[in-house]
């Protein structure tokens, strides 16, 4: 695991983040204030991204049975008054799985996500609005098709995330009865590593026997291309309908449920993308420049609230130094914009320092 300290100085152009909001601790576009009518600033010291991992490998019939359990403190809700004295935080479960041969069961990064292309950042994620980002319970089988090509097939935990036309608050319906199905091809080429993933979902909501179902789908292409020995280009492009919860920690819902208009469940189109260039100045010093974007296209037939999230975009640049084995020090500047369906916008400007020691 690692121990990590983040020092985060933020300025918001149009309001302030609520006390205890996670948007103070990492880039979370849905918590960029809009409509406050004033600017605000805050400074935060946090060690909550510290992470602990326990893994095992046990020989069984000529193969290793592998297990992994991983915790951190980053997404736990802080108790009231936590920063007054002792700053206690409850550990949060990240991953826990068993892997044997090509079979993996447990909680792991979604097969729809390519974790290998995320750029180095002082932030918890970095280009959050432009990437697939999801960990959940799943059953996955991986098999090589050739020396360069691997196929992964998975069924994963379903959860439909909706909102009402007049209320942008996200609602987890918990009415799903079919798993999300995912397939992914991983290609290791001479000029880089690439992945193409597809997902198919049933979206479902029901209350007292009244509800609706809809079909959701998505495609995501990603890659990492070396640019010399110390540099590389990383990217991801994702498009689909009804895949909101897989993008940007649910920046927009999967669908709008119009209970007052025929009890219809209508999917939202999403386009999300990011690109990042890492430049190695020396073996110990490097920078990453990244940009990200997400756009939601809401269905017609509803009078939609102007408070719903529609777009998010921005970029960041950083400088990292590794003075010794396990040590990383980073400094990053980020600018990001949140835009609502009304056209109103709010901006975030952030300078962040990170110190990490991996063990």
Among candidates 99, 196, 177, 185, which has minimal Cα distance to 139?
Answer: 99
- How far apart CA 180 and CA 204 sit, in angstroms, is 12
Q: The whole model's pTM is what? A: 0.93
CA distance 51 to 301: 46
User: In angstroms, how far is CA 37 from the centroid of its own chain?
Assistant: 29
Give the pLDDT score at 58: 96
Q: Give dist(CA 354, CA 359) in Å, integer.
A: 16
pLDDT of 259 reads 64
The answer to whether the beta carbons of residues 149 and 186 sit under 8 Å apart is: yes
What's the rounded Cα separation, in Å, for the pair 296 and 200?
19
Q: Where are the domains of the chain?
A: 55-101, 102-358
Residue 20 confidence (pLDDT):
85
Q: What is the pLDDT of residues 29-48, one digit of tens each?
A: 999 999 999 999 999 999 99
d(CA 91, CA 73): 5
Would you give the distance in Å from CA 62 to the centre of its chain? 36
pLDDT value at residue 76: 72
Q: What is the pLDDT of residue 303?
A: 77
Q: What is the pLDDT along the chain (359 residues), one digit of tens a residue?
A: 999 999 999 999 999 999 889 999 999 999 999 999 999 999 999 999 999 999 999 999 999 999 999 999 888 767 777 788 888 888 899 999 999 999 999 999 999 999 999 999 999 999 999 999 999 999 999 999 999 999 999 999 999 999 999 999 999 989 999 999 999 999 999 999 999 999 999 999 988 888 899 999 999 999 999 999 999 999 999 999 999 999 999 999 999 998 666 788 999 999 999 999 999 999 999 999 999 999 999 998 777 889 999 999 999 999 999 999 999 999 999 999 999 999 999 999 999 999 999 99
- Do 266 and 302 form a contact (C-beta atoms < 8 A)? yes
For the chain, the C-alpha Rg in angstroms (whole number) is: 21
Q: What is the tens place of the pLDDT at every residue in 142-176?
A: 999 999 999 999 999 999 999 999 999 999 989 99
The CB density around residue 24, as the number of other CB atoms within 10 Å, is 20
The DSSP 8-state label assigned to residue 174 in this structure reads -
Give the separation between CA 163 and CA 265, rounded to whole angstroms.
10
Q: Return the pLDDT at 254.
A: 98
Percentage of the residues of the chain whose pLDDT score is greater than 90: 88
Q: Which CATH class is domain 102-358?
A: mainly beta
């Amino acid at each position: 695991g690692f121990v990590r300290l983040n020092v985060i100085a933020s300025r918001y152009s149009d309001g302030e983040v609520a006390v205890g909001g996670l948007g103070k601790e990492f880039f979370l576009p849905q918590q960029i204030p809009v409509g406050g009518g004033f600017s605000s600033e805050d400074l935060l010291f946090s060690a909550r991204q510290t992470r602990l991992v326990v893994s095992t490998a046990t020989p069984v019939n000529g193969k290793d049975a592998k297990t992994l359990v991983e915790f951190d403190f980053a997404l736990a809700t802080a108790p009231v008054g936590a920063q007054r004295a002792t700053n206690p935080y409850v550990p949060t479960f990240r991953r826990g799985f068993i892997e044997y041969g090509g079979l993996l069961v447990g909680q792991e990064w979604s097969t729809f996500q390519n974790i290998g292309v995320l750029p180095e950042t002082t932030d918890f994620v970095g280009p959050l609005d432009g990437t697939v980002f999801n960990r959940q319970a799943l059953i996955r089988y991986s098999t090589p098709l050739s020396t360069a090509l691997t196929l992964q097939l998975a069924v994963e935990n379903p959860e439909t995330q909706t909102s009402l036309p007049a209320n942008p608050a996200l609602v987890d319906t918990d009415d799903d009865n079919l798993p999300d199905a995912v397939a992914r091809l991983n290609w290791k080429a001479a000029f880089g590593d690439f992945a193409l993933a597809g997902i198919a979902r049933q979206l479902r909501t029901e209350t007292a026997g009244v509800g609706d179902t809809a079909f959701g789908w998505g495609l995501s292409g990603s890659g990492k291309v070396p640019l010399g020995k110390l540099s590389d280009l990383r990217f991801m492009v994702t498009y689909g309908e009804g895949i909101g919860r897989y993008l940007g920690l649910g920046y927009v819902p999967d669908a709008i449920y119009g209970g007052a208009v025929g009890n219809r469940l209508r999917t939202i189109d999403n386009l999300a993308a990011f690109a990042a260039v890492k430049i190695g100045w020396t073996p110990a010093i490097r920078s990453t420049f990244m940009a990200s974007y997400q756009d939601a296209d809401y269905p017609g037939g509803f009078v939609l609230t102007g408070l719903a999230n529609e777009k998010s975009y921005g970029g960041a640049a950083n400088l990292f130094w590794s003075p010794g084995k396990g040590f990383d020090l980073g400094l990053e500047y980020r600018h990001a914009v949140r835009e609502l369906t009304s056209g109103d916008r709010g901006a975030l400007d952030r300078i962040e320092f990170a110190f990490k020691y991996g063990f």
